[in-house]
């Protein structure tokens, strides 16, 4: 097992979510009324079923947290989003091989009923990013952010909500 991983360490400037300092950050955010958007997401916690399903796993959480009805059955009588229902825009067999990029993610979200705005870091300002985070923190929206994993000490770009290779943590916003 020389090429396997279990929970790669977080980069040094990241605060582990469950660490004592991470719990302080959480408590401070809660006291400042900055976690209203957290609870609908936490209720939908989902671990991606395939290594390349980072984007699909994040989208499942977002769509279910937004209470969007998929309009079709998941299992039994239940209408619920799961990765296998996200089959528009990109065939699942392709997603299993390479994941989805930001534009494909947006297409999947739209064709499943979400109102989507794509903001790219190279053309958006830090103020716009912070405004989007504030809206998500208030519970008015969900933000799914892709980041350059090379900058986080790993490889390729993946959504922030579903990086199964890293532990959960607080990262700097600027």
pLDDT tens digits, one per residue of 33-49: 888 999 999 999 998 89
Give the model's confidence band at 156: pLDDT under 50 very low, under 70 low, under 90 confident, else very high. very low
What confidence tier does 15 reach under pLDDT thresholds 50, 70, 90? confident
pTM value > 0.95: no
Buried b (16+ CB within 10 A) or exposed e, 109-122: beebebeeeeeeee
Q: How far apart are CA 7 and CA 134, in angstroms?
A: 29
pLDDT at 159 over 60: no
Is the pLDDT at 157 greater than 50, yes or no?
Answer: no
Give dist(CA 8, CA 66) in Å, integer.
30
CA geometry: angle 156, 34, 140, nearest 5 deg = 75
pLDDT exceeds 60 at position 166: no
Spell out the domains of the chain, with CATH numbers in brackets: 15-170 (3.90.70.30)
Q: Which among 82, 57, 13 is positioned nearest to 165, based on CA atoms? A: 57
């Amino acid at each position: 097992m020389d090429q396997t991983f279990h929970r790669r360490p977080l980069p040094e400037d990241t605060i582990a979510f469950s660490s004592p300092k991470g719990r302080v950050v959480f408590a401070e955010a809660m006291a400042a009324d900055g976690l209203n958007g957290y609870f609908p997401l936490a209720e939908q916690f989902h671990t991606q079923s395939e290594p390349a399903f980072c984007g699909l796993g994040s989208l499942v959480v977002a769509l279910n947290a937004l209470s969007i009805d998929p309009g079709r059955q998941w299992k039994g009588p239940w209408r619920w989003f799961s990765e296998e229902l996200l089959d528009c825009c990109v065939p699942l067999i392709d997603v299993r091989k390479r994941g989805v990029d930001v534009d494909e993610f947006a297409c999947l979200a739209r064709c499943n009923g979400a109102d989507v705005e794509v903001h790219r870091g190279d053309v958006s300002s830090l103020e716009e990013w912070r405004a989007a985070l504030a809206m998500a923190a208030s519970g008015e929206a969900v933000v799914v952010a892709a980041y350059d994993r090379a900058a986080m000490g790993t490889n390729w770009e993946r959504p922030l909500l579903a990086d199964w290779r890293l532990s959960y943590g607080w990262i700097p916003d600027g």
